[in-house]
Structure 1
Amino acid sequence: MPDVKMSEPVSAASVEAAPLWRVTDVSAFLGVPVATLYQWRHNGTGPKAYRLGKHLRYRQADVEAWLADQVA
């Protein structure tokens, strides 16, 4: 049987995640009103958003990828 080395477990504290953006952060970044972001989400045309409880959050990379698709 081959010698298999197990990696050490990764704790949540050791993984640095980029902070999630609030709707107001995305609004300021894109230069559009907050209401426009909610309308885009309703229509399924805006950047990918995640619902955390009653709050919407965005990943910066998702917003930037969506923006690049719009420009292309």
Structure 2
Amino acid sequence: MDILNTIEAAEYVRLSKPTLDRLRVSGEGPVYAQLGRAVRYRKADLDDWLASRLTRSTSERGAA
């Protein structure tokens, strides 16, 4: 199991660290583990989160 810190996770999903932090705080980001003050992400969870955000067109973004 691959465990990444926030900087590594941000690089993996090609986002900036502040953007990943913002997504985590808003509840829109990938699931994570809080270990004391440290935040960690599993690569598999990052892959799942990315897959859940796939769309075929921009018109699908607002559809629920």
Regarding TM over 0.5, the answer is yes
**2:15 matches 1:44:** no
Residue ranges of structure 1 left out of the alignment (5+ in a row): 1-17
**2:39 matches 1:59:** no
Residue ranges of structure 2 left out of the alignment (5+ in a row): 56-64
Structure whose CA Rg is larger: 1
Structure scoring higher RCO (CA < 8 A, sep ≥ 6) equals: 2
Alignment deviations for residues 36-57 of structure 1 (CA, whole Å, 9 cap, x no partner): 1110011100000110111000
Q: TM-score, normalised by structure 2?
A: 0.79
User: RMSD of aligned C-alpha atoms?
Assistant: 1.0
